[in-house]
Amino acid sequence: MTSPSLFDDPPVVLVVDDEVRSQDAMRRTLDEDYTVLTASSAEQARELLQRQAVRVILCDQRMPGLSGVKFLKEVREHWPDVVRIVISGYTDSEDIIAGINEAGIYQYILKPWSPDGLLESVRNAVEAQVLQQQTARLDLELRTSTPVLRQRTASQMAQARAHFGFERIVRAPGSPLESLCAMAARAARYDIPVMLLGESGTGKELLARAIHYASPRLNGPFVLENCAALADSLLESELFGHKRGAFTGAFEDHIGLFQRAHGGTVFLDEIGETTAAFQVKLLRVLQEGEVRPVGAARPVPVDVRVVAATHRKLEQRVQEGLFREDLYYRLCGVTLTVPPLRERAADIAPIARHILRDVATELGHPGAELSDETLACLLAYPWPGNVRELRNEVLRALALHDGRELTPAAFSARVRQGLPAAADSARAAALPASGTLAERLDVIEAMVLRETLLRHRWNKTRAATELGLSRVGLRAKMQRFGLDKP
């Protein structure tokens, strides 16, 4: 018999029952979704199977001649792909056991059956048959298509490199990230640890992924763990693994992230938040190149590259005795500092546009744009939460806007005003509490000049026009107050 196609529509179901009323009842239940064939005996069913591709057989157990189980045993031998279901009004345990052992019965349905229950059983049986055929096909591909699989894997790896590469880190021409990414790309080629410093939300994880996919370890796994999110005992178990029964709740063996990352990269975020006790254990792993799962009798060798990150000033924590100096030097083969968004104002507009394109369609606002007024508003805000805060603000604006163009009104009040709530007090604190009127006015003038230059991305012509100054006059004031483009 020809095997049924994976895409026949509708699937064919064969009902075998010596009672015509039972045949009609099952046909009425199934004929909206399936092509239903009927047979009153095993002989008629055998003839249909020889002519027609069938997915599922619903067979009565007690019929004249061959019983349902004996007939389905024959079906199993000659048409093994057909899913076999027995329907019976009797609960004879010997019949059930024989059906399972000899005929490979998928399900044993007792009479009286409900229409919904029968329909659900057939639906599950058809899905099981499709999945079985797909699995067999994939097994065959795995045995015979090694070159194809190798090519497919290489293609997927190329897509991953393109998606997570340095070129996908959004930045403006001349951004401080240009030199940072160039240095990170050079470091990525060598199997040395990298420490990423920078405020939260600046994109350290993106940089870590780019380093991995630009390294010789790109074919290995990239795994990450936020060290600040777990207590010491849980962090040790998560990174190094544990054996069953090592502690209360350890019901099975757990493979740690270092073992999962074997041959690849481990990214330890917020490494500066770890305790001295954990730092000792991590240092031993880095020195010995092996981990000892909690409760294990012997260590397990691992080959990983470690990229760590923290928003803390790690050298200061070393001096304060809060971070081990030997671990510091183990982790800081190359140290890269990701500048905050306020120090690279030129990146704000391209990042905002990228975020907008990324989420606009998902939120049902395809084609949304940022107005020039909105971009000026975004440039005037210092973004203490960096890219993460910018993303939240764009999401908020998309959710609240009605038109195609996002206006400043869709953003939060602190962004529209140009300063976060915390910066208001900082601004007040920056004003001198004493001095002459002229001295205090100089401080205010310097603050206004800096904010205007920042908003116009240090374009002196635009800033001078807004302030009513000539370029020469603006340049003189910048020199007077020591205002230089960062």
What does the pLDDT look like over 150-171, one tens digit per residue? 676 667 767 777 778 898 899 9
Residue that has been written with the tokens 């699937």 in this structure:
11
Q: What is the pLDDT of residue 245?
A: 80
Q: What is the pLDDT of residue 407?
A: 87
Checking 4-7 for CB contacts under 8 A at 24+ apart, the result is 4/53, 4/54, 4/55, 4/81, 4/129, 5/53, 6/130, 6/133, 6/134
Q: Give the integer Cα–Cα distance in Å for 1 and 390.
A: 63
Would you list the domain boundaries of the chain? 12-142, 161-337, 342-421, 431-481
Which of 384-398, 407-421, 467-481 has the lowest average pLDDT? 407-421
Q: What is the pLDDT of residue 350?
A: 94
Amino acid (1-letter code) at residue 162:
A
Q: What is the pLDDT of residue 105?
A: 84
Q: What is the pLDDT of residue 4?
A: 45
CATH number of 12-142: 3.40.50.2300
Q: Give the integer Cα–Cα distance in Å for 285 and 173.
A: 41
Q: What average pLDDT does this structure show over 254-275?
A: 93
281 or 252: whose pLDDT is higher?
A: 281
Amino acid (1-letter code) at residue 182:
A
CA distances from 289 to 27, 229, 248, 263 (A): 66, 25, 28, 12
Q: Are strands 290-291 and 300-301 parallel, antiparallel or unpaired?
A: antiparallel
Q: Give the integer Cα–Cα distance in Å for 246 and 252.
A: 9
Is it the case that residue 455 has pLDDT exceeding 50? yes
Which residues is 225 bridged to in the sheet? 268
Other C-beta atoms within 10 Å of 162: how many? 11
Predicted confidence (pLDDT) per residue in 210-230, tens digit? 999 999 999 899 999 999 888
Predicted confidence (pLDDT) per residue in 291-348, tens digit? 999 888 889 999 999 999 999 999 999 999 999 999 999 999 999 999 999 999 899 9
Residue that has been written with the tokens 């020195």 in this structure:
287
Task: Output the average pLDDT for the chain.
Answer: 85
Is it the case that residue 190 has pLDDT exceeding 90? yes
CA end-to-end distance (rounded Å), the chain: 77
Amino acid (1-letter code) at residue 423:
A
Q: Give the integer Cα–Cα distance in Å for 113 and 87.
A: 9
Which residues is 58 bridged to in the sheet? 15, 85
Is it the case that residue 419 has pLDDT exceeding 60? no
Which residues is 305 bridged to in the sheet? 265
Tokens coding 385: 């939460």
Which residues is 110 bridged to in the sheet? 88
Q: What average pLDDT does this structure show over 394-422?
A: 79
pLDDT more than 90, % of the chain: 42
Which of 3.30.70.100, 3.40.50.300, 3.30.300.20, 3.40.50.2300 would CATH assign to domain 161-337? 3.40.50.300
210 or 249: whose pLDDT is higher?
A: 210
429 pLDDT tier (thresholds 50, 70, 90):
very low
Residues 6+ apart with CB under 8 A from 249: none
Torsions phi, psi for 466 (to 5 deg) = -65, -40
Which of 1.10.8.60, 3.40.630.30, 3.40.50.300, 3.10.20.30 would CATH assign to domain 342-421? 1.10.8.60
Q: Give the integer Cα–Cα distance in Å for 154 and 219.
A: 9
449 and 467 Cβ atoms separated by less than 8 Å: yes
314 and 323 Cβ atoms separated by less than 8 Å: yes
What one-character DSSP code corresponds to residue 112? S
How is the chain split among helix, strand and coil, in percent rounded to 5? 55, 10, 35
Q: What is the pLDDT of residue 462?
A: 84
For residue 112, whether the previous peptide bond is cis, meaning omega lies within 30 degrees of 0, is yes
Angle formed by the axes of helices 437-455 and 460-467, nearest 10°: 130
Is it the case that residue 423 has pLDDT exceeding 60? no
Q: Give the integer Cα–Cα distance in Å for 268 and 293.
A: 18
Is it the case that residue 30 has pLDDT exceeding 50? yes
Residue that has been written with the tokens 């990150």 in this structure:
309
Q: What is the pLDDT of residue 65?
A: 83
Q: What average pLDDT does this structure show over 192-202?
A: 95
134 or 295: whose pLDDT is higher?
A: 295
Which residues is 194 bridged to in the sheet? 307, 334
**What is the distance, to the nearest Å, from the Cα of residue 112 to the centroid of all Cα atoms in its chain?**
48
Is it the case that residue 206 has pLDDT exceeding 90? yes
Is it the case that residue 285 has pLDDT exceeding 80? yes
Q: Give the integer Cα–Cα distance in Å for 280 and 235.
A: 13
Predicted confidence (pLDDT) per residue in 233-242, tens digit? 889 889 999 8
282 and 326 Cβ atoms separated by less than 8 Å: no
Q: What is the pLDDT of residue 427?
A: 47
191 or 5: whose pLDDT is higher?
A: 191
Q: What is the pLDDT of residue 148?
A: 62
CATH number of 431-481: 1.10.10
Tokens coding 324: 């081990």
H helices of 223-347, in order, are 232-240, 257-260, 276-288, 314-319, 325-331
Q: What is the pLDDT of residue 486?
A: 53
Confirm whether 12-142 and 161-337 share one CATH topology. Answer: yes
Q: Are strands 305-310 and 265-269 parallel, antiparallel or unpaired?
A: parallel
Cα dihedral sign, 363-164-224-149: positive
91 pLDDT tier (thresholds 50, 70, 90):
low
